[in-house]
Chain A
Amino acid sequence: MNIKWIVLIGLLFLSGPVWAGEARPLADDPANEARLKHLAVELRCLVCQNQTLADSNAPLAEDLRREVREMIAKNMSDQEIIEFLTARYGDFVLYRPPLKASTTLLWVGPFLLVIVGATALIITLRRRAGKVVDVPVTEDEHRRVEQLLTEGGKRP
């Protein structure tokens, strides 16, 4: 093991950071970048449908980020940018679909299911409570229990 090897291995460790490229900034201006990030996590990539526009590396997502970046640079409001995208791709681009006639089931459905489930639970619990009959314990049985308990205690 001479010094050459040590230097070589040391160099190998150094090369790591060279390979790892920095993620490209979304926009040049930090304020704009923050806005783009804030918007992009609310928007869905249409190619990889379970990724946000911020996460996706699909070419379309890159194009849409570029488009949004340009709209931010033009000082358009978030509302205007979202309108631009929904006019082209529909509500599907939004991760939070708006409350509309067609989406009521989506928004109200889970609450309906909870209500139905809770009602069913309460009804069954009440019915079951009615079914349990109070059985009185006789004197004889009391004595037997006592006896069993004391005998049990004597066991090694």
Chain B
Amino acid sequence: MNRFLLPLSIFIVVLVFLGIGLKLNPREIPSPLVGKAAPDFSQPQLLEPTKVFSPADMKGKVWLLNFWASWCSGCKTEHPVLMDLAKSGEVPIYGMDYKDQRDEAMTWLSRWGNPYPVVGVDDAGRVGINYGVYGVPETYVIDKQGVIQYKQIGPLDSETVEKKIIPLVKQLEAQ
């Protein structure tokens, strides 16, 4: 009995570690930007190219910054969730059109609907780099002081919105 106890316990420990490893998502890299000031930018707007969009305009508000692109399939998956959230009026979602073609982005928005009050254009992907974006869609929750409080990597789903985003937004609004 004693002979098998040691190998068995080692096996169980290895099993537990492998089990944890299976549940980890290697695509989700913790962002060092959470808790730091949202990087500044000044980008032309998609719908009104003569105007600029800058996070400085958003001071004093809790808002979401959503990086998306018309070529991104995850953005299509996420889109109905964003539409619902925009309709609910809980929090404004500002868009950043990441490395996209202007006309294709406009077609995408007119076909599927536009949840964003304003969309900035990041055609060179520089704003994306400053925000540590490595795959769209990515969504940031930014507080009244302009500090990033949460980063969602990959498409938002209604569960994440209900259980994480909305409670966090309410808590930040109360501050």
Residues of A with Cβ closer than 8 Å to B? 46-47, 49, 59-60, 63-64, 67, 86-90, 92
Contact = CB atoms under 8 A, between A and B. Distances in A.
A63 to B, nearest CB: 5
Nearest to A88: B132
A87 B26 contact: no
A64 B29 contact: no
Chain B interface, >50% SS class:
loop
Contact of B134 (A60, A67, A86, A87): A60
A67 B26 CA distance: 24
Given A47-B134, A88-B130, A59 B33 contact: no
B132 A63 contact: no
A89 B132 contact: yes
B29 A88 contact: no
A63 B124 contact: yes
B153 to A, nearest CB: 10
Contacts of A49: 26
A88 B133 CA distance: 8
Nearest to A60: B134
Contact of A59 (B31, B125, B130, B132): B125
Interface in B61-117: 99
Interface of B: 26, 29-33, 99, 124-126, 128-132, 134-135
Contacts of B130: 88
A135 B131 CA distance: 76
B129 A47 contact: no
Nearest to B29: A92
25 contacts: A46-B29, A46-B134, A47-B134, A47-B135, A49-B26, A59-B125, A60-B128, A63-B99, A63-B124, A63-B125, A63-B126, A63-B128, A63-B129, A64-B129, A67-B129, A87-B33, A88-B32, A88-B33, A88-B132, A89-B32, A89-B132, A90-B29, A90-B30, A90-B132, A92-B29
